[in-house]
Structure 1
Amino acid sequence: MSHSAQIFRAGFLIAALTLLSACSEIKYGLYDLAMDFERSQAGVTPKSLETQGRHFAYLENQAPPDAETILLLHGFGASKENWLRFMRHLPSRYHIVALDLLGHGDSSKDTSIPYDIDDQVGYVRAFTEAAGLSRFHLMGNSMGGAISSMYAAEYPDSVASLVLMDPAGVYDYSSELETRLQKGENPLIVRKPEDFDALMEFAMEDKPFIPWPIKSVLTEKAIANTGIYDHIFAELVRERHRYDFKQVLLDIRSPTLVLWGKEDRVINYRNAEVFTRQIANSRKMIIDGVGHAPMIEAPEETAEITLVFMRLLEAEKD
């Protein structure tokens, strides 16, 4: 290769890398703008706190000092941002907190600590104590639903009501996920770019539109978290646990709503029957045309169902 050709090639590579870097900066800039807009629409701001040597990130709105609190826990491989569209439809009279569970979002990611459900209950408890949340309405999706269930069982005086959206923990009725796992596939973990679209198709029946720059950043973030997600998932599906989850459900005293998308391929919606059978003061609602994430797929309808449930509880008190 001639000297001039080498110079041309080097220049081309430098230009290409500069362009890619600029595109990446633009892409992430657009992502940040989109998230800022979504947070403003939901009336929340990002916050964080440190406790027990761990960093917890969360979203919080401004509410009256005497407002009742709603604490939101997302599912495996997700983040606090999964609740943004749902939070838009909650009245501002509530104090709303959406937490990034450890190992997720902007919270600490540590592969040296355990992440079984009872461990995660302990981490959430550390957060609620540090944040001064003594009593609240607790809502959780998927893994967050299992954590919420055990939290309500262990700390009954802290949980005014419980809403479980497609909760994990009970698998009496099999799902497509279990079939895929038996084949050595895990559609919940993104390892390469095309896996992100496959995950959206698998997890949700009524998928929201995600513009390219946003989807690209979400894909990159998911791939970057493969290591921690592998670790957490292995903890969740191991054969031996320190608890009997269905026995835990018997200890829940909080009024409970079990809300499930009928087209859920991750966890079979018929497992709602087990939750309502085990939890004394509970009722269920199955939503047609919705998959594993009702708060994303049908945020307004899901919020309305939740608010009706809470209004019924208030009426029962009166």
Structure 2
Amino acid sequence: MRRGVRIAAVVTAAVLVVGVGVVANDPFVLVRAQFQGQRLLAGLDAADVSIAGQRWAYVHADDVPANAPTVVMIHGFTGSKENWYPLAERLHGRYRLLIPDLPGWGESERQPGADYGFGAQAERVAAFIQVLSPGKPVVLLGHSMGGGIAALVAARYPRLVAKVGLLDAAGVRFNDNQFGLDVLAGKNPFAVTDAESLQRYIDIVFHRQQAKPWIPWPASSGLIAMRKRDAAFEQSVLDKIGRGQEQFAPGEAAANVHQPALLLWGRQDAVIDPSAMAIYAAKMPQARQVLVDDAGHMALMEQPAAVADAVVQLIDSH
């Protein structure tokens, strides 16, 4: 008995030592572990696919009736597929879900010198839809930068997109706020280099204090290190979508979006000012407009129940 207890104690100690060693070597492993738990809770399976020489990482939920609509969700700038997990949890079992990391972001492939602006990503998303939902138009949801991409896909490829939802979408000239002014001045307001700037980033994108993610050390150090490594890439993308020639391409293309549509904003969005919704609505008069109270730029994470209600109404309305 004592020998068994000693063996168990030795094994436990060994596991702890290995675990500490792994975390010390890669602190971001704690963040990935949290994402894994959220994915499982949302009932999503992980997969990857190669499309036109580009590897995509994505998650999906296919355990739905054969005739269920397919919903594709596109994340925003500095975001990832994990941003959609709270919403996916509420839609699970009702619709087929496809949630990718855009090429260049998250766990998807990033190719040196490739174009990751609005237009190029719209072409990639169209190809993703054709491969993962052949012959069946999808409901396309896009958040922030992903909203601008979704607008372009819906306008350029109406046969691929049955309905479209733009959530706090980039791509129009909204009323001036500090974030927009900083972008136009050549800065990256989302840049993260230390603990202080990480907290500033979180405070910009989230409004509700209760919804702000708690990222303790050493997970925070892993996240900061990753964002520092990505700084040049983030800047290159922002140069294209925030102040380059295609910065307003989604808003211009929106006049050619004729599918049933949803425009949804967080009332306290400090990134893409809610005035952007009216600009999109002027181009898309068929769109239902939803302003979510007590939510900032990450309305999909801050108020997922309200966002889910709006999405379900979009999908299930005839």
Q: Same fold (TM over 0.5)?
A: yes
**Equivalence map 1:165-204=2 (5 Å):** 165-182=167-184, 185-204=187-206
Deviation at residue 278 of structure 1 after TM alignment: 0.5
Deviation at residue 27 of structure 1 after TM alignment: 4.3
- Asked if the contact 2:172/2:248 (under 8 Å) is kept, the reply is no
**Equivalence map 1:71-220=2 (5 Å):** 71-133=72-134, 134-182=136-184, 185-206=187-208, 207-212=211-216, 213-220=218-225
Query: Given the superposition, is the C-alpha separation of residues 199 and 97 from structure 1 closer, same or farther in structure 2, using an over 3 Å criterion?
Result: same
Query: Given the superposition, is the C-alpha separation of residues 273 and 50 from structure 1 closer, same or farther in structure 2, using an over 3 Å criterion?
Result: same
Percent identity over the alignment?
A: 24
Aligned equivalents of 1:28 and 1:250: distance in 2? 42
Post-superposition CA distance 1:178-214 (Å, at most 9, x none) = 2233555422122334321110001110233324154
Post-superposition CA distance 1:204-259 (Å, at most 9, x none) = 10233324154443333222222221221112134423984433111001111100
- Larger mean Cα displacement after TM superposition, 179-188 or 255-264: 179-188
Query: Given the superposition, is the C-alpha separation of residues 107 and 19 from structure 1 closer, same or farther in structure 2, using an over 3 Å criterion?
Result: closer
Aligned to 2:62: 62
Unaligned runs of 5+ residues in structure 2 are 1-17
Aligned equivalents of 2:177 and 2:85: distance in 1? 28
Aligned to 2:274: 269
Post-superposition CA distance 1:237-290 (Å, at most 9, x none) = 344239844331110011111000111111110111111110131121111221
Query: Given the superposition, is the C-alpha separation of residues 42 and 242 from structure 1 closer, same or farther in structure 2, using an over 3 Å criterion?
Result: closer
Aligned residues: 296
Query: Given the superposition, is the C-alpha separation of residues 90 and 61 from structure 1 closer, same or farther in structure 2, using an over 3 Å criterion?
Result: same
Post-superposition CA distance 1:53-86 (Å, at most 9, x none) = 1111111013233321000000001100111111
- Asked if the contact 2:70/2:98 (under 8 Å) is kept, the reply is yes
- Larger mean Cα displacement after TM superposition, 165-174 or 74-83: 165-174
- Asked if the contact 1:73/1:99 (under 8 Å) is kept, the reply is yes
Deviation at residue 127 of structure 1 after TM alignment: 1.7
Equivalent AA in structure 2 for residue 220 of structure 1: A
Query: Given the superposition, is the C-alpha separation of residues 237 and 218 from structure 1 closer, same or farther in structure 2, using an over 3 Å criterion?
Result: same
- Larger mean Cα displacement after TM superposition, 172-181 or 23-32: 23-32
Aligned equivalents of 2:267 and 2:82: distance in 1? 23
Deviation at residue 21 of structure 1 after TM alignment: 4.5
Say if 2:248 is the partner of 1:248: no
Which secondary structure state, in structure 1, belongs to the residue aligned with residue 109 of structure 2? coil
Equivalent AA in structure 2 for residue 264 of structure 1: D
Equivalent AA in structure 1 for residue 139 of structure 2: H
Q: CA RMSD in A?
A: 2.3
Aligned equivalents of 2:97 and 2:314: distance in 1? 17
Deviation at residue 29 of structure 1 after TM alignment: 4.6
- Superposition TM-score, scaled by structure 1 size: 0.85
Task: Select 1:302's aligned residue among 286, 304, 307.
Answer: 307
